[in-house]
């Protein structure tokens, strides 16, 4: 008899509300709770990109907001404001690639550089229109046992190992093989 997995699980299943890359039919879904201002998330960013490229259609990637500071959640809101214009992943990448430029003025410049409707973007950012969406992700992370970033879940179970390329890829491959 197989022993029940004791690792923490996602309390909010992946669904239509999420930002996803990859096919729903992929054998593995990797969920990251991250913060655009976190230096560790910045280190994880190219690792996830590499794994996505390597695994192709075998992987679906989901990013959820987990701002570590209540004082600076604006980058998370900027990504969601871009999502309102169907440009979440473009802004996601841009924020990590410009992590030292995440103040309000820079975020607005990033939106312009990406070709977003800046009037709409600035309105959403200035009025914290998407703060509830960021908070929803954050609270789902708290309920799922997230207490730092980046935190990864593989097929709904928290990955408790290291998130460097080799151990994360090994855990994902184990899940693809049906052993994880």
Backbone dihedral angles phi then psi of residue 174, each to the nearest 5 degrees: -65, -40
Domains of the chain (ranges; CATH) run 19-176 (3.40.30.10)
88-101 mean pLDDT: 97
> Mean pLDDT of all residues in the chain?
94
51-76 mean pLDDT: 90
Q: pLDDT digits over 144-163, tens only?
A: 999 999 999 999 999 999 99
96-120 mean pLDDT: 97
- Of the given ranges (8-17, 68-77, 106-115, 157-166), which has the lowest mean pLDDT? 68-77
48-75 mean pLDDT: 91
pLDDT band for 72, please (50, 70, 90 cuts): low
pLDDT band for 178, please (50, 70, 90 cuts): confident
Does the pLDDT at position 55 exceed 80?
A: yes
Encoded tokens for 70:
């209540």
44-54 mean pLDDT: 97
pLDDT at 179: 74
pLDDT at 68: 87
* Residue pointed to by tokens 């994360």: 168
Q: pLDDT digits over 25-41, tens only?
A: 999 999 999 999 999 99
Does the pLDDT at position 1 exceed 50?
A: no
64 neighbors 34 (Cβ within 8 angstroms) = yes
71-81 mean pLDDT: 86
pLDDT at 69: 77
pLDDT band for 52, please (50, 70, 90 cuts): very high
DSSP string covering the chain, please?
-PPPP-S-B-SS---TTSEEES-TT-SEEEEEEE-TT-HHHHHHHHHHHHHHHHHGGGEEEEEEE--S-SS--HHHHHHHHHHTTT-HHHHHHHHHHTTT--SHHHHHHHHHHTT--HHHHHHHHHTTTTHHHHHHHHHHHHHTT--SSSEEEETTEE--S--SHHHHHHHHHHHHTT--
């Amino acid at each position: 008899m197989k022993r029940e997995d004791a690792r923490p699980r996602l309390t909010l299943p992946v669904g239509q509300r999420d930002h996803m890359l990859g096919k729903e039919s992929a054998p593995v879904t990797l969920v990251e709770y991250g913060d655009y201002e976190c230096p560790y998330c910045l280190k994880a960013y190219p690792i996830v990109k590499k794994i996505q490229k390597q695994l192709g259609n075998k992987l679906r990637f989901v990013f959820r907001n987990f701002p570590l500071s209540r004082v600076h959640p604006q980058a998370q809101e900027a990504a969601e404001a871009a999502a309102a214009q169907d440009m979440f992943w473009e802004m996601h990448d841009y924020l990590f690639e410009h992590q030292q430029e995440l103040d309000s003025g820079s975020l607005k410049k990033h939106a312009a550089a990406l070709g977003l409707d800046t009037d709409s973007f600035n309105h959403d950012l200035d009025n914290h229109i998407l703060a509830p969406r960021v908070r929803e992700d954050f609270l789902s992370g708290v309920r799922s046992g997230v207490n730092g970033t980046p935190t990864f879940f593989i097929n709904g179970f928290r990955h408790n190992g290291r998130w460097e390329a080799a151990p994360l890829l090994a855990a994902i491959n184990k899940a693809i093989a049906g052993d994880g």
